[in-house]
């Protein structure tokens, strides 16, 4: 039986991914901060759970120990999904360096630290996969999302390098780039209320399917697919992109 660690599993994309993997027969270790939700989900889909804040200094070692204990030290898939974002302009009091730092802590640093702790297991279990959940905001930036975009740009760049580095060890590294997805942390209420924009809002289940595709060998998956037009526009005609204010 294949084994997986899914972070941010208590709701949204992480929960949808856990449910999809469970239906496909994976043995899971579910990781998030909220014990009650993890316990309920683990009871529904099977597997075990660990309530931990991934920014804590001892979090990677705690997850590693549970993989040893609950999954027998075998790890076929690591889904780095946990993340957060706080909208603010950098020049505003609430949007300065402190906001950038806390966003980087969870969206980038925590991913790097956890991956480092689990990489030996992934290599021993090869062929195996790491799927990092970035964002279309990791390709293009918008006002009031500078800290979030910075963390997701960093995650995308680091993941691409890791993809090439780990090929010789049999560890595939894929990145998923969601667009506007309605989750508890990002409800997208403004977009859903507007008849002109509600159709561009995706569901966590869409991203879960993209994560599974990435785990099976795709280096990058943008979801929904048409969101790929935005970074392509920026790359091909950057002057037009900035003039029309897409970013």
How confident is the model at residue 180, as a pLDDT? 77
pLDDT in tens, 44-57: 999 999 999 999 99
Find tokens 């999302």 and name the residue.
145
pLDDT of 222: 96
Structure tokens at 240: 């037009």
Describe the strand order of the beta sheet including 77-80 as a list of residue ranges: 48-51, 27-32, 3-7, 77-80, 128-133, 171-178, 220-223
Task: Please tell me the pTM assigned to this model.
Answer: 0.92
- Given this model, what pLDDT does residue 192 score? 45
Domains held by the chain: number? 1
Residue 225: per-residue pLDDT: 81
Q: Which of 148, 177, 227, 241 is catalytic?
A: 148
Q: What is the pLDDT along the chain (247 residues), one digit of tens a residue?
A: 999 999 999 999 999 999 999 999 999 999 999 999 999 999 999 999 999 999 999 999 999 999 999 999 999 999 999 999 999 999 998 999 999 999 999 999 999 999 999 999 999 999 999 999 999 999 999 899 999 999 999 999 999 999 999 999 999 999 999 987 867 666 665 654 555 455 656 799 999 999 999 999 999 999 988 767 777 777 777 877 677 655 4
The gap between the terminal CA atoms of the chain, to the nearest Å, is 44
What is the reported pLDDT for 247? 41
Domain around 143 = 3-244
Q: What is the pLDDT of residues 105-157, one digit of tens each?
A: 999 999 999 999 999 999 999 999 999 999 999 999 989 999 999 999 999 99
- Which pLDDT score is estimated for 161? 98
For residue 7, give the nearest of 132, 153, 93 by alpha carbon: 132
Distance CA 32, CA 176 (A): 19
pLDDT, residue 241, reads 66
Domain CATH for 29: 3.40.50.720
Instruction: Specify whether 97 is catalytic.
Output: no
């Amino acid at each position: 039986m294949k084994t997986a660690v899914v972070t941010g599993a208590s709701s949204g994309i992480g929960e949808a991914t856990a449910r999809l993997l469970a239906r496909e027969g994976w043995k899971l270790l579910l990781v998030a901060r909220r014990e009650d939700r993890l316990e309920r989900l683990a009871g529904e889909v099977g597997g075990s759970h660990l309530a931990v804040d991934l920014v804590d200094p001892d979090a990677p070692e705690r997850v590693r120990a549970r993989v040893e204990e609950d999954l027998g030290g075998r790890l076929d898939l690591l889904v780095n999904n946990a993340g957060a974002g706080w909208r603010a302009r950098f020049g505003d009091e609430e949007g300065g360096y402190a906001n950038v730092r806390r966003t980087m802590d969870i969206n980038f640093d925590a991913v790097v630290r956890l991956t480092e702790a689990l990489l030996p297991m992934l290599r021993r279990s090869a062929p195996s996969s790491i799927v990092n959940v970035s964002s279309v905001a990791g390709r293009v930036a918008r006002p009031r999302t500078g800290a979030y975009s910075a963390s997701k740009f960093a995650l995308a760049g680091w993941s691409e390098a890791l993809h090439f580095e780990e090929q010789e060890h049999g560890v595939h590294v894929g990145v998923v780039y969601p667009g506007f997805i309605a989750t508890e942390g990002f409800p997208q209420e403004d977009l859903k209320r507007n008849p002109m924009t509600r159709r561009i809002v995706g569901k966590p289940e869409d991203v879960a399917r993209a994560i599974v595709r990435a785990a099976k060998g795709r280096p990058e998956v943008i979801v929904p697919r048409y969101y790929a037009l935005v970074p392509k526009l920026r790359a091909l005609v950057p002057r037009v992109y900035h003039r029309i204010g897409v970013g």
